[in-house]
Each structure stands twice: as C-alpha cells, then as structure tokens.
Amino acid sequence: MSATTLPARPHGPAGKVRTFLEAIKFEHTVFALPFAYLGMLLAARGAPTLAQALWITVAMGAARTLAMALNRLIDREIDARNPRTAGRALPRRLLSAAEMGAFAAGAGVILVLAAWQLNPLCLQLLPGAVVILVGYSYTKRFTWLSHAVLGIADALAPIGAWAAVTATVPPESLLLGFAVATWIAGFDLLYACQDVVFDRANGLHSFPARFGIPAALTWAKLLHVATIGALVLLGVALGLGLVYWLGVLIAAGLLIYEHSLLQPDDLSKLDMAFFNVNGYIAVALFLATAGDLALSWLLARG
C-alpha cells in the first residue's frame, strides 16, 4: 500500500481541520459505526429513541477520532521512518504534535459528554474503554498480540451501544463484540503483512513479523471463521429471522472473496481486501439485521 497522500500545507483553521480528518481517515468510521448500530438495534429489538441514536453516533465518532488521533501522535516517529506512512500529516509537519493533541483532547471531551448523555453505566465503563483505545498504539512495541488488542478496541463499539440502550452488558452483547473482535483482528493481520520487513528491521512486533506471512493469512482465515460462528450463535440466541441469516451468508461470502484476493507472495490487492470488502461486510450485516427487525415488526402488527 502506498504512503498516505495528504494535501499541501493547510492554511487557516478550516484547512487544519480538513488535514486532520484526512490524517485520521475519518471516512473509515464506516468500519465501526455499522456494528455500533447493530448493537443498538439488537438491544432495542428495533428502533431506539432518537436521543439514543444521536448520542451513540456521537460517541462512536468521537471514540474513533480520539483513538486515531492518539495513534498518529504516539506513532509519529515510527511513521516518519516507514516509507508507507512517511506521507502522513505529522511526519510531513502539516500538523504539529500539539495540534494533533488538541484535536484528540477535543474528541475526548465530546466522548465524555456523549457517555454522560446516554446513561450512568456508559460513563462508568468509559475509563476502561479509553485505556484500551489508547493502549493499543503501544502494543506493537512489545507484543505480536497487538492485532487482538485492536479487535477488542473495536468490539467496544457494539458492546457500548448495547449498554447505551439497555444500561446492561448481557451475554448477547459480548457475543456480538466477539464477532467484531475476531473480524477486526483478522483483517488487521492481513494489513500488517505489508510492513513485515519494516517491523523486523525496527524491532516492532506483529504476528506476520514474528511468524511470517503464510501463517498470518492462515490465522486471519481462522479468525474470520470464528466471526461467522459468533454471528450464527448470536442469530440463534436472539431468534433472528431469514433476512439476518441472508446477511450472515453475504458476510461469509465476502470474507471468502477477501481471502481469495491475497496470496503469501502476492499482496497487490490488499487495498481492495482491506478497505472495500470490509466496508461492504459491515454495511451488509447492519442492513440485513435492520431489515430483519423491521420485517418482524411488520409481521407482528399484521
């Protein structure tokens, strides 16, 4: 994957904001938000209140913004040495470390506000969630299990959304969280394959750097089998209907396609596998679940 391409040095506050949003790839919130909405819909067994939907959206956007901003800040020296990431905002000095820190602090304040608006449980769980979101960026310095930590961080989205609606964390929410954790960890294994040479040369830890690309591709497949297994168990536990199962089938097919794009000696289609296919999986599962719950509601009224 080529280095991130950012615009020329930004001018004025609006330019700084645009550069920041590009630096953290704000548009990739699509990976996490559909699963947060999935947790929200399943917790409500249909439509949540408008206030819940609003503050869950704000919380998820702020949480990802905080995590990504701190990741860019914490990894700025590593990014500057890696040809793939040397074009990011901090290595190119398009933003200063202080500016990135200020954006992160702003996102943190918004996250606290959103949790406070939702319910006391969300506010109580927030410190632990922030530790995981921030701690992930340091894990590559000492363990090849960093991919699992990233999976857990993203799993907080549906679990947190479930807690936001019901003020509880039932087993079903953890099952959905497990599905997200294995999905994210699996494709992060694939993403890390492109940095094997750099990671080994710089003493960084990743599963592919430790065990090799073939092993990483194999374990990514196993993790994604676990993802589908968890989604199946979730559907059974909640008694979901045909439309949901169609979504699971589509997700399974997309995962199979994703893995077919990559070979140990050919990662040229990693962009397509990582960004495109995974976005489709998240959206497909959300739409299928929403459709299934809507159909159940209509049938109950009829």
- Does the pLDDT at position 6 exceed 80? no
The span from the CA of 54 to the CA of 165, in Å, is: 12
Q: What is the pTM of this model?
A: 0.91
Question: Mean pLDDT, the chain, as a whole number?
Answer: 91
The confidence band for 32, taking pLDDT boundaries of 50, 70 and 90, is low
Residue percentage of the chain with pLDDT more than 70: 94
**Averaged pLDDT for residues 105-120:** 97
Please tell me the predicted confidence (pLDDT) of residue 14. Answer: 84
- Does the pLDDT at position 249 exceed 70? yes
φ, ψ (nearest 5 deg) of residue 273: -65, -45
**Averaged pLDDT for residues 202-212:** 96
The span from the CA of 226 to the CA of 186, in Å, is: 10
**Averaged pLDDT for residues 154-181:** 96
The confidence band for 8, taking pLDDT boundaries of 50, 70 and 90, is low
What are the pLDDT digits (tens) for 169-198? 999 999 999 999 999 999 999 999 999 999
Domains in the chain with CATH codes:
14-296 (1.10.357.140)
Structure letter (DSSP) for residue 239: T
Please tell me the predicted confidence (pLDDT) of residue 223. Answer: 98
The confidence band for 245, taking pLDDT boundaries of 50, 70 and 90, is very high
Q: Which two tokens stand for residue 185?
A: 């960890």
DSSP sequence for 33-79: HHHHHHHHHHHHTS---HHHHHHHHHHHHHHHHHHHHHHHHHTHHHH
The span from the CA of 12 to the CA of 23, in Å, is: 16
Please tell me the predicted confidence (pLDDT) of residue 3. Answer: 46
What are the pLDDT digits (tens) for 50-106? 999 999 999 999 999 999 999 999 999 999 999 999 999 999 999 999 999 999 999
Please tell me the predicted confidence (pLDDT) of residue 268. Answer: 82
| The CA-based dihedral angle spanning residues 110, 111, 113, 118, taken in that order and rounded to the nearest 10 degrees | 140
The confidence band for 11, taking pLDDT boundaries of 50, 70 and 90, is low
The confidence band for 1, taking pLDDT boundaries of 50, 70 and 90, is very low
Please tell me the predicted confidence (pLDDT) of residue 7. Answer: 54
